[in-house]
Amino acid sequence: MQHSRFPLTPVTQSRLAQVDFDNLGFGSTFSDHMFSMVYEDGAWTNPEIMPYQALAIEPGVAMLHYGQTVFDGYKAFRGEDGQARIFRPDRNASRLHDSCQRLCIPIMPLAELTEIMLQATRELIELDHAWIPSQWGHSLYIRPLVIGTEATLEVRAANRYRFLIMTSPVGSYFNNLQKGVSLRVEDRFTRAASIGGLGAAKTAANYAASLLPGAQSRAQGFDQVLWLDSNAHRYVEEVGAMNIFFKIAGRVVTPPLGGSILPGVVRDSALTLLRDWDIPVEERRIAIDEVIEAFRSGDLEEVFGAGTAAVICPVASIGYQDEIYSIAGTPPGELTLRLYDELTGIQYGKIKDRHDWNQYVALPD
C-alpha cells in the first residue's frame, strides 16, 4: 500500500458481507469508508477518512433550503491484472471546481483540489478494494459532494462547508446495450436555462428540475427525457445523465458546450476517439426538426448517449409530439458498439490507454 496521507478511523465491522454483488443496481450501496474535509474560518481543514456514516445537520442549514450543493461522479474499474483503473478523475476535479465557483462555494485552487481528490480516491480504493466489483460492466462509482453546512435562512453563500467523497459498487446503469433506451423529447419543461443558468454545473437544482418530466416520461413508457433548449424549445441539449450524439449520413453531431449542458467526461472521450478514427464530428446546435427530418430521409443512422453511469448507450427510439421514431436496425449500431468496446476496453485494461486517461491503483491479491 502506498503511503497514506489522511488520518484514518477504520470501521469496527465491515458491511461487505451484506452486499449482494449480483444485484447491485446503481448507487444504493455505499462502501465502508468515506473521505471528509471541512471549510470553516476561511480555510479547508481536517481531511480524514472515516466510516461512511450519517451526517448531523441542523434543519436550518441553508443548503437544505436553497440548494448550495455540488457533486460529481467517476468510476474505478477492477482489471484482470490486479490493478484498479480510475477513469479521468482529473476532469471530474476540474468540473467540480467549476461547479463550486458557479454555486459560490469557496473551493481551494484547482491543482490542490485535484491532488486531494486523487489521493483521497486512491486511499479509499486501497482501503475498500474488496468493494470494487469484478463482474464485467460493474465498477466502483465515486461520488464527491460539497455542501454548505452553515445554519442560516439568509439567502447568501454559506460560511461553512463539508467536502465528502463516498464510493458505491454499481452495476450497469442501463442494462440494455442490446435493447437500447427510449427517449421522450420534452418540449414544455426545461432542465436548465439556455443562457446564464446552472446547466453546466453538476448541482442539485438541475436534477430537481428533471424529476417531474422524468416521472411523466416513465409513466408514458419511456426510459429517459431528451431535453431541448429553454428559449425556443427547439435545439437538442442532452439526456438525463448522458450527453447525446447523432450519426447522420456518416457524420457525428453533438450539441456544443455552451453553459446549458453538462460538459461530460465521456462526451469528451468519445469525441477524442472519433477524431482519432477520422470520423467527421460536428459540435453544433442541432434542432429536433433536423433529427426528425434525418430520420424521415433515412439519414439518421445511429443515436447514442455518453456518460459515466452508462458509458455509451444506444438510443432505440425517440418520442416527439405523439410520434415514435424507431432508429433503424437492432441496437447497438456499429459506431455505438465500437465506442463502447473501446472505452470499456480502456477502462478495464484490455485496450492500450493511448491518451493516459487512467490513474492506476495496485490492488492486493
Ligand X SMILES: Cc1ncc(COP(=O)(O)O)c(C=O)c1O
Residues forming the site for ligand X (CB under 6 A):
73, 238, 241-243, 262, 264-267, 306-308
Q: How far is the CB of 244 from ligand X (least distance, A)?
A: 9
**C-beta closer to ligand X: residue 62 or 306:** 306
| DSSP-H helix ranges across 39-131 | 62-66, 89-102, 110-127
Work out the burial of residue 317: count CB atoms within 10 Å of its CB; fewer than 13 is exposed, 13-18 middle, 19 or more buried.
middle
Encoded amino acid at 137, one letter:
G
Q: How far is the CB of 301 from ligand X (least distance, A)?
A: 22
Cell numbers given for 66: 436553497
Cα angle for residues 358, 359, 365 (degrees, 5° grid) = 110
Q: How far is the CB of 99 from ligand X (least distance, A)?
A: 11
Q: How far is the CB of 199 from ligand X (least distance, A)?
A: 8
Cα dihedral 270, 207, 224, 288, rounded to 10, equals -70
**C-beta closer to ligand X: residue 61 or 93:** 93
**C-beta closer to ligand X: residue 62 or 204:** 204
**C-beta closer to ligand X: residue 25 or 106:** 25
**C-beta closer to ligand X: residue 61 or 103:** 103
Query: Is residue 164 within 8 Å of residue 144, measured between CB atoms?
Result: yes
Q: How far is the CB of 210 from ligand X (least distance, A)?
A: 8
Closest CA to 309 of 270, 266, 261, 349: 266
**C-beta closer to ligand X: residue 126 or 341:** 341
Q: CA 108 from chain center: how many Å?
A: 22
Strand partners, 151: 61
Closest CA to 222 of 180, 171, 192: 180
Taking the C-alpha atoms of residue 34 and residue 167, their distance in angstroms, rounded to an integer, is 7
**C-beta closer to ligand X: residue 62 or 164:** 164
- Please write down the HEC assignment for all residues of 230-293: CCCCCEEEEECCEEEEEEECCEEEECCCCCCCCCCHHHHHHHHHHHHCCCCEEECCCEHHHHHH
Q: How far is the CB of 186 from ligand X (least distance, A)?
A: 13
**C-beta closer to ligand X: residue 307 or 331:** 307
Strand partners, 168: 141
Q: How far is the CB of 190 from ligand X (least distance, A)?
A: 13
Q: How far is the CB of 24 from ligand X (least distance, A)?
A: 18
Cell numbers given for 56: 448531523
Which residue in this structure is represented by grid cell 491503483? Answer: 361
